[in-house]
Amino acid sequence: MRIGSEYTRRAQVAGRPGRKWILALAVMGACCGPGAALATPILGSDLASFTVLGGSTVTNVPPSTIEGNVGVWSSGGANAITGFNSSPGVATSDPQVTGGSVYAGGALAQSAQGELTTAINDLASLGPGTTLTNADLTLAGTLAPGVYTVPAGTTNLSGMLTLDGGGDANAFWVFQMPSTLITSPNSVVNIINTGSGAGLYWNVGSSATIDTNTTFLGNILASASITMNTTATDFCGRALASTGAVTLQQNSLSGTCSGMLAGSGGLNGGSAVSVPVPAPPTLPLLVLGLAGVGFAYARRRRSAAE
């Protein structure tokens, strides 16, 4: 009887650590596995209603064509808009603006600026992703969905950049630009093989300059200013400046996309995009915990064998 009882005891001792390993691995998987999607849209609803938003002024050399709201909110209270019809704090119509109004200050523009700050921080929280070797994205040729950090350079786009969603209708791209975003004249951003759930964001640490005749795409979120040079376009995206001016010169911008990207809310101003959030910095603690479990397991095995 004692022999049977001892055998049972040893089997139970040997079995317990297995359960602990399973629990530890489950915890590790939950904490360090692929991150969940951001729970809310990157662009808040008030912010998404603006195709052009300045943080100090908005200046336009007519004629420009804007689909969506145009506005400015300055904490200093200047809220100056030139080149569009405007009235302080009042939604104003302008023939250059369709599907929206012009807001020189006011509650909606103020709320949008607050949401812009949140959006910039949310994009930054995604981390650097893949750091590209070259500042000029043209050298990358074609990029799959993901988060990319682009080194500073005299130009970040000298020719064509193709973004290939690989058949994923919810493909997303985030470009972390620690300094500036600068394109050369006649450069092009092209998106293929995706759909209405796609998202494209340019998180610019200072200012953006989209040069003459550039065919751009996506939402530019700049900490400082945005300049669109003569006839540059962004037919699926926004120009959103946090603290500086937005300068337009006979440009066409639209927060409503067409074709393959129709319904994407201006790539993507309405839907929550499945962007992986980096895991919290708990891996070192988990490694120590697993090491402790392993040590305890080894000791119990030795004890059971004695």
- Mean per-residue pLDDT for 99-112? 97
Given a cut of 90, whether residue 244 has pLDDT beyond it is: yes
Same domain, residue pair 245 and 288? no
User: What is the reported pTM?
Assistant: 0.79
Q: Look at 297 and 131; give whichever has higher pLDDT.
A: 131
Same domain, residue pair 64 and 113? yes
Poorest-confidence range of 108-122, 130-144, 215-229, 253-267?
253-267
CA-nearest of 46, 44, 40 to 68 is 46
Q: CA angle 289-295-297, nearest 5°?
A: 105
185 is in which domain, residue-wise?
45-268
Same domain, residue pair 9 and 60? no
Given a cut of 50, whether residue 58 has pLDDT beyond it is: yes
One-letter identity of residue 92: T
Same domain, residue pair 112 and 52? yes
**Would you call 195 exposed, middle or buried from its count of C-beta atoms within 10 A (0-12, 13-18, 19+)?**
middle
**Would you call 193 exposed, middle or buried from its count of C-beta atoms within 10 A (0-12, 13-18, 19+)?**
middle
- Residue 40 lies inside a defined structural domain of this protein: no
> Directed axis angle between helix 2-32 and helix 283-305, to 10°?
170
Same domain, residue pair 124 and 248? yes
* pLDDT of res. 33: 42
Given a cut of 70, whether residue 94 has pLDDT beyond it is: yes
pLDDT tens digit sequence for 138-163: 999 999 999 999 999 999 999 999 99
Same domain, residue pair 28 and 106? no
* Domain count within the chain: 2
* pLDDT of res. 273: 52
Same domain, residue pair 21 and 77? no
Q: CA angle 176-49-163, nearest 5°?
A: 35
Q: What one-character DSSP code corresponds to residue 161? A: E
pLDDT tens digit sequence for 18-54: 444 444 444 444 444 444 445 468 999 999 999 999 9
* pLDDT of res. 7: 38
* pLDDT of res. 267: 60
Number of H helices, E strands in the chain: 5, 21
Task: Return d(Cα 256, Cα 47) in angstroms, integer.
Answer: 14
Same domain, residue pair 220 and 289? no
Task: Return d(Cα 210, Cα 233) in angstroms, integer.
Answer: 9
- Mean per-residue pLDDT for 276-296? 46
- Residue 232 lies inside a defined structural domain of this protein: yes
Same domain, residue pair 110 and 22? no
Same domain, residue pair 175 and 213? yes
pLDDT class of 265 with cuts at 50, 70, 90: low
Residue 302, CA atoms < 13 Å, CB-side half-sphere: 6
Same domain, residue pair 54 and 120? yes
Given a cut of 90, whether residue 16 has pLDDT beyond it is: no
pLDDT class of 271 with cuts at 50, 70, 90: low
Q: CA angle 227-229-233, nearest 5°?
A: 95
- Residue 137 lies inside a defined structural domain of this protein: yes
